[in-house]
């Protein structure tokens, strides 16, 4: 059972997962054990971890940017898909997608 009413989906360098607690409880990154407690199915859980791994591989801290435009486009599209899946899997919990590493179209 989830004790949060809101979660943030956001990658960060070498984070264990891309799922974060809300700011009002410390904005900490959830561990894989936390993901287990959310009751997510294995497919969604694995997809979340792969999305985080993709970020680490294609937007490494030492590069401080994407290795290609295609990488950030794929990352953004997968983030949107994962947010939609989390919305379905966690009814009643607001899931905010933070795509901070994706360049804006400004």
Nearest to 2 by CA among 75, 61, 74, 89: 89
**Structural domain that includes position 70:** 6-97
CA dist., res. 91 & res. 77, Å (int): 22
Token couple for 66: 């994407």
- The answer to whether the Cα torsion of 31, 86, 42, 102 is positive or negative is negative
Asked if residue 106 is part of any domain, the answer here is no
CA dist., res. 91 & res. 11, Å (int): 22
Residue corresponding to tokens 């009751």:
39
Asked if residue 59 is part of any domain, the answer here is yes
Q: Please indicate, yes or no, whether the overall pTM of this predicted structure exceeds 0.75.
A: yes
Asked if residue 102 is part of any domain, the answer here is no
Asked if residue 24 is part of any domain, the answer here is yes
**pLDDT tens-digit map of 12-67:** 999 999 999 998 889 999 999 999 999 999 999 999 999 999 999 999 888 879 99
H helix or E strand, kind and range, residue 47: helix 42-58
pLDDT-based confidence at 2, cuts 50/70/90?
low
C-alpha 49: how far from its chain's center? Answer: 8
Strand partners, 66: none
Token couple for 84: 């939609």
Residue 106 confidence (pLDDT): 45
**CB atoms near residue 5 (< 10 Å):** 10
Asked if residue 52 is part of any domain, the answer here is yes
Q: How many domains does the chain have?
A: 1
Asked if residue 48 is part of any domain, the answer here is yes
């Amino acid at each position: 059972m989830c004790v949060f009413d809101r979660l943030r989906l956001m990658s960060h360098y070498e984070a264990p997962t891309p799922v974060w607690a809300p700011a009002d409880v410390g904005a900490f990154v959830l561990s894989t054990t936390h993901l287990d407690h959310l009751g997510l199915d294995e497919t969604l859980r694995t997809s979340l971890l792969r999305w985080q791994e993709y970020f680490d591989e294609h937007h490494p801290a030492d590069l401080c940017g994407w290795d290609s435009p295609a990488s950030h486009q794929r990352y953004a599209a997968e983030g949107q898909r994962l947010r939609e899946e989390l919305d379905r899997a966690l009814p009643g919990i607001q899931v905010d997608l933070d795509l901070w590493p994706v360049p804006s179209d400004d």
